[in-house]
Amino acid sequence: MKPLSALPLRQHNHQHCINDALKQAKAIAEHKDLRFTKQREQVLRLIWQSHKPIGAYQLMDALADATGKQVAPPTVYRALEFLLEHRLIHRINSLNAFIGCPCPGESHAGQFVICRRCGIALELDEASIKAPIQALAASVGFLIEQQSLELSGLCPTCQVSAEGESEHG
């Protein structure tokens, strides 16, 4: 399991995240003979610009700001569908938003911790969680096709901030 002090929870250069994500996406597209269009690249770049999930309409606004022209919703949704289909991003259902996948192209259960205060999200990869959930589902005859676990709370930075506020409030 990745520790909670992992990369997104401390200050760092997001450009490295963006560059790695684009490099991996281009490699996957080339390997699978897929078209990684400029629009798809721009959407992926915007998703990786921070470690906060971003919604489709926020993406449309950001693309309009970057290109100087309005972007139609179907254009963004097609790019998101492509990125989801090829496991380059994840959908955070509770927020109706998207976040970059640090292990693109690999099939894995999504486990996310999401800070309700600052909005940062971190994908965890703990295999030991998947088996009991599948066993529980199987016990009632259910076959899980996709698994995503979203946990909401406070990141370490926001915990410290909340403690400071409660001491002064």
Average pLDDT, the chain: 87
Pick one of 3.40.109.10, 1.10.10.10, 1.10.540.10, 3.40.640.10 as the CATH number of 7-168: 1.10.10.10
Cβ–Cβ < 8 Å for 57, 95: no
pLDDT of residue 4: 41
**Mean predicted confidence (pLDDT) in 48-72:** 91
Q: Does the pLDDT of residue 165 top 80, yes or no? A: no
Q: Which residue has the higher pLDDT, 37 or 130?
A: 37
pLDDT digits (tens, 9 = 90+) for 105-142: 777 778 999 999 999 999 988 888 888 998 999 999 99
The model's pTM is 0.84
122's enclosing H/E stretch is strand 121-124
**Alpha helices by DSSP H, the chain:** 14-31, 38-47, 56-67, 73-85, 127-139, 156-168
Give how far Cα 83 sits from Cα of 27, 128, 161, Å. Answer: 13, 27, 35
Structure tokens at 97: 């938003």
Q: Does the pLDDT of residue 7 top 50, yes or no? A: no
pLDDT of residue 107: 76
Please identify which residue in the block is written with the tokens 């490295």: 16
DSSP state of 106: -
**Phi and psi at residue 21, to the nearest 5°:** -65, -45
Please identify which residue in the block is written with the tokens 């800070």: 115
